[in-house]
Structure 1
Amino acid sequence: MKILLIGASGTIGAAVETALKPEHTVISANFSGGDVQVDLGNTESINAMFNSVGKVDAVISTAGLASFAALNELTEADYQLALQNKLMGQINLIRIGQQFVNTGGSVTLTSGVLSREPMHGSSVISMANGALESFVKAAALELDTLRVNVVAPIFVKETMAMMGMDTTSGLSAADTANAYVAAVTGDMSGKTLDAPGFV
Structure 2
Amino acid sequence: MKVVVIGATGIIGRAIVSELSPRHEIIEVGKSRSVLSVDVLDAASVQRLFAKIGTFDAVVTAVGNVHFGPLATMTPDEFRIGLNDKLMGQINVVLAARDLIADGGSFTLTSGILSDEPIRAGASASTVNAAIDGFVRGAAIELPRGMRINSVSPTVLAESWETYGPYFRGFEPVPAKRVALAYSRSVEGAGTGQVYRVW
Per the normalisation by structure 2, the TM-score is: 0.93
Per the alignment, residue 159 of structure 1 pairs with 160
Q: Does 1:189 align with 2:192?
A: yes
Check 1:178–1:167 CA distance in 2 against 1; reply closer, same or farther (3 A cut): farther
Measured after TM superposition, the shift of residue 44 of structure 1 is 1.2
Task: Please say which of residues 101-110 and 33-42 is displaced more in the overlay.
Answer: 33-42
Per the alignment, residue 39 of structure 1 pairs with 39
Per the alignment, residue 175 of structure 1 pairs with 178
Per the alignment, residue 98 of structure 2 pairs with 98
Measured after TM superposition, the shift of residue 6 of structure 1 is 0.6
Task: Please say which of residues 162-171 and 14-23 is displaced more in the overlay.
Answer: 162-171
1:188 alignment partner AA: G
Measured after TM superposition, the shift of residue 179 of structure 1 is 0.2
Check 1:51–1:178 CA distance in 2 against 1; reply closer, same or farther (3 A cut): same
Point out where structure 1 has 5 or more consecutive residues left out of the alignment: none
1:18 alignment partner AA: S
What secondary structure is seen at the aligned counterpart in 1 of 2:58? strand
RMSD between aligned alpha carbons? 1.6
Per the alignment, residue 8 of structure 1 pairs with 8
How do 1:35-74 and structure 2 match up within 5 A? 35-74=35-74
CA distance in 2, matches of 1:164, 1:135: 28
Measured after TM superposition, the shift of residue 45 of structure 1 is 1.1
Deviation >4 Å, runs of 4+: 162-168
CA distance in 1, matches of 2:164, 2:117: 20
Point out where structure 2 has 5 or more consecutive residues left out of the alignment: none
Paired residues in the alignment total 196
2:194 alignment partner AA: K
Measured after TM superposition, the shift of residue 51 of structure 1 is 1.1
CA distance in 2, matches of 1:22, 1:194: 24
1:50 and 1:97 in contact (8 A); partners too: yes
1:155 and 1:171 in contact (8 A); partners too: yes
Question: Per-residue CA shift, 1:113-135, capped at 9, x if unaligned?
Answer: 00010100111111110011011
Per the normalisation by structure 1, the TM-score is: 0.93
CA distance in 2, matches of 1:150, 1:125: 15
Per the alignment, residue 150 of structure 1 pairs with 151
